[in-house]
């Protein structure tokens, strides 16, 4: 009986150690992804709208990728409260 309890205790300690190692290993990537999301959001809501008048003054047809970027920027700027929910 004592051997079973010792084995169980050892197994539970190993399981807890594994959980802590997994949590520690995932902390840094989660922080990086969070900062990346914040950086993209700031660029899309603050930087791109300030560059839009520059694109309009060139009187050149913008590529599809640039038009899409501006459209996504407008969407995020006008609906960011909905996205937070």
Is residue 7 situated within a structural domain?
no
17 is a domain residue: no
pLDDT tens digits, one per residue of 14-46: 999 999 999 999 999 999 999 999 999 999 999
Residue 11 forms part of a structural domain: no
Residue 59 lies in a domain: yes
Q: Is residue 49 part of a domain?
A: yes
Domain count, the chain: 1
Query: 75 lies in a domain?
Result: yes
Q: Examine residue 15 and state whether it is found in any structural domain, yes or no.
A: no
Q: Is residue 1 part of a domain?
A: no
| Domain span at 34 | 23-84
pLDDT tens digits, 38-85: 999 999 999 999 999 998 898 889 999 999 999 999 998 888 788 777
What are the angstrom distances between the C-alpha of 31 and each of 19, 27, 36, 42, 44? 18, 6, 9, 17, 20
Prediction pTM value: 0.69
């Amino acid at each position: 009986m004592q051997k079973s309890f010792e084995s169980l205790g050892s197994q539970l300690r190993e399981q807890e150690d594994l959980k802590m190692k997994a949590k520690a290993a995932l902390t840094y990537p989660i922080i990086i992804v969070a900062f990346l999301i914040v950086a993209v959001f700031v660029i899309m809501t603050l930087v791109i709208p300030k560059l839009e008048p520059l694109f309009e003054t060139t009187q050149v047809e913008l590529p599809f990728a640039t038009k899409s970027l501006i459209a996504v920027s407008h969407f995020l700027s006008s609906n960011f409260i909905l996205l937070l929910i």
